[in-house]
Amino acid sequence: MTIRADQDAGPNSGFWCATGFSPAELLFLPEMRQTLSFLGSLPGDTRPFVRIHYLLNLVTGMRTATGVAYDWSLLDEALDTLVERGLRPMFELMGNPSNLFTDFDELGQVKSWRDLVTALAARYAARFGRNEVTAWLFETWNEPDLPFWSWGEPGLANYYDACRAGLDAVDPALRLGGPATARTLSSTFRAFLAHCDAGTNILTGAAGGRLDFISVHEKGVRESAEDLTPRPLRMIARELQAVDYVRAHHPRFADLPFVNDEADPQLGWDTPHTWRARPTYAALIAKIADQHRRHLSEARRVDARVVNDNGFLGRWGHRTLFAYFGPRTFPGGQAGHRTDLAAVKATRQASAEPFALVKKPALAVLELMGLLGPRLCSVASDPPLAPDHDGVGMMATTWPGAGEGLSRIAVLVYGSPDRIWSSGEKCLRVGFEGLAPGDYAVAAFRLDDAHGCAFDLWDDWEAPDQLDADQFAALRAAQEAGLLGAVEHVRLESGGSLVREVVVPLPSVTLLLAERRSARLAGAPTNVTAARQPGPSPREDVLLTWRPDPSDRVQLFDVLFGPSAAGPFERVNPVPLLSAAFLHARAPGGGVYHIEARHLDGPPSRSGPLAF
């Protein structure tokens, strides 16, 4: 294989950096807040989107002589939970405050919904600022072609008109899309597009309206207790049916972003599948992103985005980013769900149940993908790669250097056969060409059975439900993407190339990095925070987060802990960290933390002390 770093192949927009879960009341649980702290600490410049059902069920309302008075306090807290962690809502305008809305064919209720959306947009533009809220995505009610929606296709059209008018009344830059339908080319999907294109607006009488993106839900395979073959290419094929329908029947919308915002390998978040705990899922996530890039963005010029709907809370086999250990059970968020605000408030006031979370490869692969660069580059292979046949593919990216030529290249290689239990390996000979001459640091990170797979360790212990503090520490030591060997130092002369042999296990994800060495040190992390978590006794869990110094270079982090400002300090993370978050299990009591940041090839810079 030859990767030409100097041949630009277009932008790499991080179009996969999003997740979702249901229901909204999970935002008040410490388990979800810990999950979101890690999600908001991923490397890279892209801020993840989080798509959540039933947000508007957190709002209560009371009709008065002059309209409706709303209590926004719970929704305020829920959105603070996201924004404070560097996350952006993909805000489904879904939920029914105090069940006030019963008929979207009735003009008075349509106007009342418009006023609700206006009040919502104005409130959060004032709370978070215009620049923040215009970066969000607003979306219609989830899956209105299923029983989530109760008011029919005409009601959906009226509801959309009200949502659009409510957002526009505050700021026309606010983006709204839909219809987030579950069935391929359902009548609801077709009716929604027809209304947005040329239908009569119930509020203005005008024909047609504005749509900012089109969203659908297509999965790799149906829900089943069996480990069915995911077949993400069939997901792609069904998406392309929708794309072709839009281009044929609604060409005005042909260039809109096209979002599959539940692009999961298998339907059903809470039907357990052990492959979700293993590198199999990480490799599928990488492959699905790459297939969207190749088959939609490049082959069909579609502005394609994907969301892996895996932000739920659950155990090893659930569609989650962490494995949960603790006494809770979590709701499925199905069509019959009803938010119990009394229970939400009681949960917030109760003492938190002890719990522990262990990172799964589904989160670790987002760390590796976050280290990809902003530009794609040319890849040639002899014989050609066949990722849709044998599951081995790659995304090669670069960073333009500041007047120095290309300063860094990052290549994500995945081994992801569709059949869940396939195994084996493939050997690639990879040549990097077109890099500027100079000294380079070369490294590789890996997710496979031996790197970043804590599940196998738990399985070796005969799958205990109760673990002690040392066992949790061992799982967390095994959860990180592993560095394959030592960082190499290589000098490239003008016109030279760098060649490496890469063994690709099936399944696996490998990130290859080559970065020009520099005398400039990594900047010291700032905004270091610590918070006690209700972890398993006799130790306490301390969640540390920090803000990395802005940089276009790879940064690795270490957490140092000592009994006092005078030290001595020891590194408490078992391997270098890629994200700006760490959970420290320690003996109860005080101490002092420093966070160190370093590039692949340089000495560290240390943050100021944090006593905690």
Q: For the chain, give the mean pLDDT.
A: 94
Q: What's the pLDDT tens digit per position in 412-458?
A: 999 999 998 889 999 999 999 988 888 999 999 999 999 999 999 99
Q: Check if the beta carbon of residue 541 is closer than 8 Å to that of residue 582.
A: no
Q: Check if the beta carbon of residue 100 is closer than 8 Å to that of residue 59.
A: no
What pLDDT band is residue 404 in, cutting at 50, 70 and 90? low
H or E element in which residue 487 lies: none
What pLDDT band is residue 403 in, cutting at 50, 70 and 90? very low
Tell me the percentage of the chain whose pLDDT exceeds 70.
98
Q: Check if the beta carbon of residue 558 is closer than 8 Å to that of residue 528.
A: no
**Given this model, what pLDDT does residue 347 score?**
82
Is residue 302 pLDDT above 60, yes or no? Answer: yes
Which stretches of 126-222 are assigned E, i.e. beta strand?
A: 137-139, 175-181, 213-216
Tell me the percentage of the chain whose pLDDT exceeds 90.
83
The amino acid at 607 = S
Q: What's the pLDDT tens digit per position in 239-270?
A: 999 999 999 999 999 999 999 999 999 999 98
**Given this model, what pLDDT does residue 296 score?**
97
> Distance between CA 285 and CA 279 in Å, rounded?
10
Cα distances (angstroms) measured from residue 217 to each of 58, 213, 253, 460: 25, 14, 18, 37
498 conformational bin, left if phi > 0, alpha if psi -120 to 50, beta if neither? beta
pLDDT average, residue stretch 160-167: 98
Q: What's the pLDDT tens digit per position in 305-323?
A: 999 999 999 999 999 999 9
**Given this model, what pLDDT does residue 506 score?**
96
**Given this model, what pLDDT does residue 334 score?**
62
Cα distances (angstroms) measured from residue 401 to each of 59, 80, 101, 323: 48, 36, 55, 39
pLDDT average, residue stretch 396-408: 72
Q: What is the largest CA-CA distance in the chain?
A: 79
Q: Check if the beta carbon of residue 98 is closer than 8 Å to that of residue 71.
A: no
pLDDT average, residue stretch 179-183: 98
Is residue 346 pLDDT above 80, yes or no? Answer: yes
> Distance between CA 534 and CA 86 in Å, rounded?
23
> Distance between CA 137 and CA 135 in Å, rounded?
7
pLDDT average, residue stretch 507-526: 92
Is residue 366 pLDDT above 90, yes or no? Answer: yes
Q: What's the pLDDT tens digit per position in 54-96?
A: 999 999 999 988 889 999 999 999 999 999 999 999 999 999 9
Q: What's the pLDDT tens digit per position in 186-200?
A: 999 999 999 999 999
What pLDDT band is residue 471 in, cutting at 50, 70 and 90? very high
pLDDT average, residue stretch 125-144: 98
Residue 384's Cβ-count burial label (10 Å; 0-12, 13-18, 19+) is exposed
pLDDT average, residue stretch 33-43: 97
> Distance between CA 116 and CA 27 in Å, rounded?
22
Q: Check if the beta carbon of residue 185 is closer than 8 Å to that of residue 245.
A: yes
Is residue 118 pLDDT above 80, yes or no? Answer: yes
Question: At 559, is the secondary structure helix, strand, or coil?
Answer: strand
Q: 117 CB contacts (<8 Å, ≥6 apart)?
A: 93, 162, 163, 165, 166, 167
φ and ψ at residue 596, rounded to 5 degrees: -110, 140
Q: Check if the beta carbon of residue 297 is closer than 8 Å to that of residue 304.
A: yes
Q: Check if the beta carbon of residue 271 is closer than 8 Å to that of residue 224.
A: yes
> Distance between CA 513 and CA 568 in Å, rounded?
33
Cα distances (angstroms) measured from residue 471 to each of 35, 454, 474, 531: 20, 11, 5, 22
Quick one: CA torsion of 54, 59, 62, 66, rounded to 10 degrees?
A: -110
> Distance between CA 503 and CA 426 in Å, rounded?
6
